[in-house]
Amino acid sequence: MNFINHNVQKLKAYVYGEQPSRSSGVIKLNTNENPYPPHPDMKKKLAGFRTDLLRLYPDPQCHALTKAASAYLAIDSGCIVFGNGSDELIANIFKIFFGSNDKVLFTEYTYTYYHVFAGIHGLRVYTLPMQHDFKVDLKLVKNYPVKVVFLTNPNSPTGIAVPAAQIAAALKENKNKLFIIDEAYADFADENCIPLLRHFSNLVILRTFSKAFSFCGGRLGYALSTKKNIKAFFKVKDPYNISTVTQLLGEDIFRNINYYKGHIKKIIALREHFAKQLVALGFSVLPSSANFIFCTHPGLSAASLAAYLRENNILVRYFNKPGLKKYLRITIGTELQMQKVYKRISHYLDAN
């Protein structure tokens, strides 16, 4: 007898970026990780950590971490909840805001993990089409009979950001729809939607420490919304979802926020420089507000270039999907890493 839920049986599992051995010497630019290490204080924190505390459960409400976030964001602590990465928060959003007959709207190209959760819950999914330049027209949202709208902003895999003013207009025009704005890459953009929280109750913002704050392995994210919505998160989340160690190190990130902002500036500057280099080689590069670029070359196979780079110990992301097959997504690494990538791409072009 098959005991697996019917919806789960039909699912296509999320395909994550290749994870090479950490001792392989590969330049890993396929999962949008930050190339710079965390602040040195983290090592000191870990060295001095009282391991006897591990026999106790962690603080279920992350009081100290929430206080640090509240001060940094200038947001009431009752409007913040932390998750084991933003992925846990996404899972909880589907628990909180959807019934069995509800409908959801995703943009045409977006974080594919959303579809996994929609499939688990048996939801009907509507797709907001993207224009030829991968931009979205939020004025069309009103045409869809959905309860919840997901928008990754800046988008992945394209890197394109929807201006906050356009999101505000959509929130105002669709007060009967809840907007989930996933701002995983917003620290690399010119603006974000946090100021909109003061004006709209139909808004949930997701943030992560994985991209801008060199903390993928720590698994930490947070959601911002109304106090009513955040209380609902506490009803469904795992009681002790953030480990004692992760809470301690998360506080350290807020304490040393300027250190991370310095790295963010480096990544943005290198993103713009690398994009110009690729354009000079004949590539078309989408305007990115994230820590990666999305590019295509009219005379090259993206799949073949990705394979060539992999053979030379450089991992980038290739999406073998209609509409995306011509493009590569390349995470911005260190200056030395990007120099090596540029040289390899130049060599490939010369040989082809």
Q: Is pLDDT above 80 for 11?
A: no
**Tokens matching residue 228:** 């009513």
pLDDT in tens, 65-81: 999 999 999 999 999 99
Check residue 6 and give its pLDDT: 79
Residue-range domain boundaries for the chain: 6-38+258-351, 50-256
DSSP state letters, 61-104: T-HHHHHHHHHHHT--GGGEEEESHHHHHHHHHHHHH--TT-EE
d(CA 154, CA 183): 7
How far from 269 is each of 162, 188, 295, 332, CA to CA, in Å? Answer: 21, 10, 17, 10
Tell me the per-residue pLDDT of 319-328, one tens digit each, with 9 for 90 and over.
999 999 999 9
The CA distance from 166 to 160, in Å, is: 14
pLDDT tens profile 175-208: 999 999 999 999 999 999 999 999 999 999 999 9
Q: For residue 154, what are its two tokens? A: 């800046």
Query: pLDDT tens digits, residue range 108-150?
Result: 999 999 999 999 999 999 999 999 999 999 999 999 999 999 9
Helix, coil or strand: residue 318: strand
Helix (H) or strand (E) holding 41: helix 41-47
Contacts of 102 (CB under 8 A, 6+ apart): 123, 124, 146, 147, 148
Amino acid 22: pLDDT? 75
Asked whether residue 313 carries a pLDDT value surpassing 80, the answer given is: yes
Q: Ramachandran region of residue 214, left (φ > 0), alpha (ψ -120 to 50) or beta?
A: left
Crossing angle of helices 244-255 and 257-280, rounded to 10°:
80
**Confidence tier at 213 by pLDDT (50, 70, 90):** very high
Higher pLDDT, 223 or 21: 223
Q: What is the pLDDT of residues 26-60, one digit of tens each?
A: 999 999 999 999 999 999 999 999 999 999 999 99
Q: What is the pLDDT of residue 133?
A: 94
Q: Which residues lie below 8 Å from residue 210, measured CB to CB, with a gap of 6+? A: 33, 34, 85, 86, 184, 216, 220, 221
CATH code for the part of the protein at 50-256: 3.40.640.10
Residue 18 is predicted with a pLDDT of: 81
Give the position of tokens 């490939």: 348
Residue 167: its H or E element? helix 164-173
What's the whole-number average pLDDT of the chain? Answer: 96
What pLDDT score was predicted for residue 23?
66
Residue pLDDT, tens place only, 239-264: 999 999 999 999 999 999 999 999 99
CB 306 within 8 A of CB 338: no
The answer, yes or no, to whether residue 270 has pLDDT greater than 80, is yes
CATH architecture, domain 6-38+258-351? Alpha-Beta Complex (3.90)
Distances (CA, A) of 216 to 25, 98, 204, 220, 264: 19, 28, 22, 8, 15
pLDDT above 90 covers a percentage of the chain that reads 91
